[in-house]
Every structure is written in structure tokens, then in C-alpha cells.
Amino acid sequence: MQAITGFIVHIVGSIGMPAVNQTICFSNNFYEYHGGASLAEWGANDYKKGFGFRFLFYSSILVISVVVTLVGIFVLSGFGSSTVFDPPGLLPVLNLVFLSICPIIVGYMAAKGYLSGGSVSLLMLAGGVFSMAMGSFIAGFLLPVKGANAVITVHNVSVLLSGIFHLSGLLLAVFGFRQEKNSKKRKINFMGLFTFIFAFLAILAFLVLQDSLPLFFIQGQGPTILRQTILGVANIFFLFSAFMMFVFFLKFRGVFLYWYSAALVLISIGLFCIFIQTSFGSPIGWLGRIAQYIGGLYLVMAVFFGAKEQEVMITQFDKVLEQFFRNRFEVLLEERTAQLAVTNEKLQLEIEKRTRTEKALRESENKFKYVFDHSPIGKSIIHISGEIQANKSFYEMLGYSWDEHKNFKWQDITHPDDIDQSQNVIDSLLSGKKESDRFIKRYLHKNGSIVWVDLRTAVRKDTNGTPLYLMAAMSDITQQREADAALKKQQQFLQKAQEIGNIGTWELDLEKNQLLWTEQNSVVSG
């Protein structure tokens, strides 16, 4: 099976690639005689000018071709229907060059693309151009043997088969059809399709030679209803395929799609011309042939300019076709998979970043908690609701053990005379008038005694500036306050004793060279 497949692809390549080489040679000759611009550069030098210019350029070619052809139809359809021009050998040669070799080049690329990638749309495309190529080849050489009816029968049936394959392939590309992943099955499918086309057209030619088929065309009288039905359906298929291909072009901007759609349009116009002819070889019939020949040339231009646009060798253009005609579902799946991979990578980086941040935050919180819990001075967090959360030193300062502490409110343990003062400080911090403050206040010990503290406090806010809680640190200055009170009391007692004993005292500060004396000393000294 592999040997047979390889042989067929080799035969197709041996027929098609010389034509490609001739096209390249023609391009090089064009380059020498047109100021250093090759045919590809002359026809595609507008790539760098943007899609708008390219669209106008290519559209103008299509419009001119269509307009000239339609003018020819209306001018020639009214006269010259009895004039016949069909020199011997001309039709077979023209059919061979333009409707056999040109389509085979595209068929060769499509077949390679299918065998490498498995796109069923490419397989149908290959079937479409091979059907037209083989049918036109057989029809051209039947003219001297069986006459006009044989040529028209084989040609019309083959273009119907070609239209069916083209439309099927494009519909599969639109609605999606899973690619054939198995390379052996791809070869079997290709062999089956090629064998079917070859066998179908061979049987058709045999039946035509045996006069076993109904008449399609009577020279001088025109076509039969059967022939008009077959050719009309084929024409509709080609027109619809051209429309779909052009829609693809507008969406994907591929130059290959434009030239291929233009080729299908011209072939359809050519089929319409022969649809209305009444004599084989008449001017309107030749106009139809010319339109088809130009369409065949456009097929080669589709490959040539498509390869130029993608910056690949013509022999590698099958890879471009395979990439484009891959199943839309699978392409979408791959795109979504790639997007998910990128998203997953971003999420992974975000997770790692958050993990590092959370770890640093936990470390910071642990350090803060350790410093908070083990500080030798009292520390507390005062919530907006008034509840306080304090460390062990704070509770021990007020006579509570760590195990028996509870959720106090700061008002519960503050001396009644200091509540208003504390509330004023808190209000100034929460309102934003102050960021921090320091003052002396009194707490109530568990045993009812007073605990004096030197309190420093500050407000903690969120990123929006909204206060979250207050932080406070307080030092127990009760003993200092008691010592100050005892010293003051002794000073008052000494002063009273001096007054009673009429005794005065003085003191000389040697460092400051300052003499100090009591009031009673002044009385005694007079």
C-alpha cells in the first residue's frame, strides 16, 4: 500500500513540479526585463503596503476578469452561434496545460498536506482538482475519436464531481471534522479517493465510447435537459465554493484563498458560457474555455503568491495548506490549550508570588507576635469597638494571670477620672488629627489599687486611610509616682520643721556655681 501511494504521489509530482519550475523560470525572465522586479514581487510588492492596497489590487483583477467575461457573454451570445472554430489538437493541448497540469499542482500540494497532517478538507480539495484535471485531460483527447457529445459528457460530469469535492471540503472546514491521526489510514483514504476518481472517470469514458449514456449535446441544436441539469448543479457548486473561499479570505487574509476563490469564479463563468452555447467550438464556447483556462492559471498563482506571502518555498507550501485547512475544532482546541497553558503559567507565577508574600507576612506576623507577647513592657491593641488585646506583661501589671485574662474594654480597667481624657486622645487619633500621642493615665489593678502608666499610642490604618485599630505601649510608673509623692511629702515636712525651729538652709551647686537657699533662710538673715 505504501509503495502504491508513493508511486501515485511521485507521478503527480513528476507532472506538476516541471510546471512549477517553468513558472519559476518565467518569473526569473520577467525579473530581467522589468527593472529588477520578479513576477512575484511585481504582483505581490504591495504586501508591505497593508491589506487595503492588496485588497484593491486583487479585487481589481477579479473585477476586470468578471466584467470582460460578462461583456463577452452578452456581446457574443447574440450572434456567431453557428460559427465553429476547433482546429485539430488545439483543445487537447490547452486542456492539458491549463485544466490538467495547473490543477494537478494544487492537487499535489493538497495531497501532501493531507498525508502529513490528516485534514479531510485538504483531501476533498485534492479530489476536486484531480477530478477536474483528469476529466479535462480525457475529454480533450476524446474530441477526434467521438466528437463533441463525448467531450461535453466527460467534461461536464467531471466538473460536477469536482464541484462536489470542493464544496464538501469547504463545508468540512466550516463545520469541523476531526483530522485523521493515523498515518496508515491517511494513505488508505488517499489511495481510495484517487482510485475512485480514476475508476469513475475511466468507466465514464468507456461508457461514452460505447455510446451507452444518454446524449448530452447535439451539435447545432444545443444541450439536452440532462446535460443542463448536471452542468447547472456543477456551476452552483463552484459559485458557492468560490463564495466560501472568498469569505475565508476576508477572515484570514490569506493570498492563496483570494486567488483560489478567483479561480473558482472564473471556472464558474466559463461553465456558464458553455451552458448557453448551442454549437461546440462557437465563440461563446471559446469564451467559456478561456475563462476556465484563466481559472486554471489562477490556481497556480494561488500556490505561487501564497508561498511568497508565507515566505516559504513552493515545494513546502503543502505545510501552509495543512495548517490552514486543519479542523477548526482542533485548531480552536489547540488555541484554547495554548491560552490555558499561558494562563496556567501566569497563575502559577501568581501563586508562587502570593506564597512568598504570605510566607513573608507569616514571618513578619510571627516576629511581631513574639515581640508583642514577650515584651517586658505592657503592650495592647485597642479595637475600634473598645476591646483590647494585650500581652502578658500588661495583664501582670494589672494583677491578672495570663490564663485568667479576658476580653476587657479599655473603659473597664481605666480609672473613672481618666476615661474622658483617654476618649479624647482616641477620638483625635481616629479622626486623623493626630497619628500618635503620649500621656499619663491610671489603670485599675485587680485588687482595686491604682496603676500609673506612661502610655504611648498610635493608630493603624488600611491602604484607604481607614483606621483599623490603635496600638499602645505603656510603662508602669506607679513606683516612680509613689517615690515622687514621698519625696514631696518629706520636703513639705522639712520645710515645716524649719519654719517651727526658725532654721534656714542653703546649698551651693559647684558645677553651676549657683547658690540656693530656703525661704526661711531669708527670714533668719533678715
Q: Is the pLDDT of residue 332 over 70?
A: no
The pLDDT assigned to 17 comes to 38
270 and 305 belong to one structural domain: yes
Same domain for 308 and 366, yes or no, is no
pLDDT of 510 over the 70 cut: no
63 and 166 assigned to the same domain: yes
In-domain check, residue 36: no
The confidence score (pLDDT) of residue 331 equals 57
Residues 202 and 170 in one domain: yes
Show the cell assigned to 363: 514571618
Q: What pLDDT, on the 0 to 100 scale, is given for residue 25?
A: 38
pLDDT at 134 over 80: yes
Same domain, 181 and 115: yes
Q: Comparing 126 with 308, which gets the higher pLDDT? A: 126
User: Does residue 243 contact residue 167 with C-beta atoms inside 8 Å?
Assistant: no
Is residue 467 pLDDT above 70, yes or no? yes
- pLDDT, tens only, 344-389: 888 888 998 888 888 888 887 778 777 777 788 888 888 888 888 8
Is residue 322 pLDDT above 60, yes or no? yes
* In a shared domain, residues 345 and 263: no
The whole-number pLDDT of residue 80 equals 46
pTM for this predicted structure: 0.54
Q: What does the radius of gyration of the chain's CA atoms come to, in whole angstroms?
A: 50
Q: Is residue 30 part of a domain?
A: no
Residues 16 and 137 in one domain: yes
State the number of CA atoms in the 13 A half-sphere of 276 facing the CB: 19
> Which of 40-49, 146-155, 244-253, 385-394 has the lowest average pLDDT?
40-49
What pLDDT digit, counting tens, does each position of 75-105 carry?
Answer: 555 544 566 777 888 999 999 999 999 999 9
Q: Which residue has the higher pLDDT, 58 or 343?
A: 343
> Within 13 Å of residue 218, how many CA atoms lie on the same side as its CB?
7
Banded model confidence at residue 159, pLDDT cuts 50, 70, 90 = very high
pLDDT given at position 203: 95
Region 123-133: mean pLDDT is 93
Tell me if 376 sits within 8 A of 422, measured CB to CB: no
Residues 351 and 385 in one domain: no
Within-domain flag for 106: yes
Q: Which domain covers residue 370, as residue numbers?
A: 329-374
DSSP β-ladder status, 378-383 and 450-461: unpaired
- For residue 212, name the pLDDT band (cuts at 50, 70, 90): very high
Mean pLDDT of 167-195: 85
The predicted model gives 142-167 an average pLDDT of 93
193 lies in the same domain as 318: yes
Kindly indicate the confidence band of residue 524, based on its pLDDT and cuts at 50, 70 and 90. Answer: low
Higher pLDDT, 226 or 14: 226
**Higher-scoring residue by pLDDT: 107, 119:** 107
Higher pLDDT, 181 or 29: 181
Question: Does 486 score more than 50 pLDDT?
Answer: yes
Cell numbers representing residue 320 in the block: 501552509
Q: Higher pLDDT residue, 27 or 227? A: 227
Residues 277-297 have a mean pLDDT of 87
Same domain, 321 and 384: no
Domain CATH code at residue 436: 3.30.450.20
Query: Per residue in 243-261, pLDDT tens?
Result: 988 888 887 777 888 889 9
pLDDT in tens, 419-438: 999 999 999 998 888 889 99
Q: Is the dihedral of CA 385, 389, 393, 395 positive or negative?
A: positive
* C-alpha cell of residue 79: 450572434
Residues 142 and 344 sit within 8 Å (Cβ to Cβ): no
Residue 71 binned pLDDT confidence (cut-offs 50, 70, 90): low
The per-residue pLDDT for 326 is 61
Question: Do the bridges between strand 436-444 and strand 378-383 make them parallel or antiparallel, or are there none, so unpaired?
Answer: unpaired
Tell whether 15 is covered by a domain.
Answer: yes
Q: How many domains does the chain have?
A: 4
Q: Are 304 and 24 in contact (CB under 8 A)?
A: no
The mean pLDDT value of the chain amounts to 78
Give the helix/strand (H/E) hosting 259.
helix 255-276
Q: What is the pLDDT of residue 334?
A: 65
The answer on 367 and 389 residing in a single domain is no
Q: Is the pLDDT of residue 485 over 80?
A: no
Give the per-residue pLDDT at 96. Answer: 92
pLDDT at 36 over 50: no
Distances (CA, A) of 36 to 6, 21, 29, 41, 311: 40, 20, 10, 9, 19
Same domain flag for 267 and 309: yes
- Whether 343 has a pLDDT exceeding 80, the answer reads yes
* pLDDT at position 405 over 50: yes
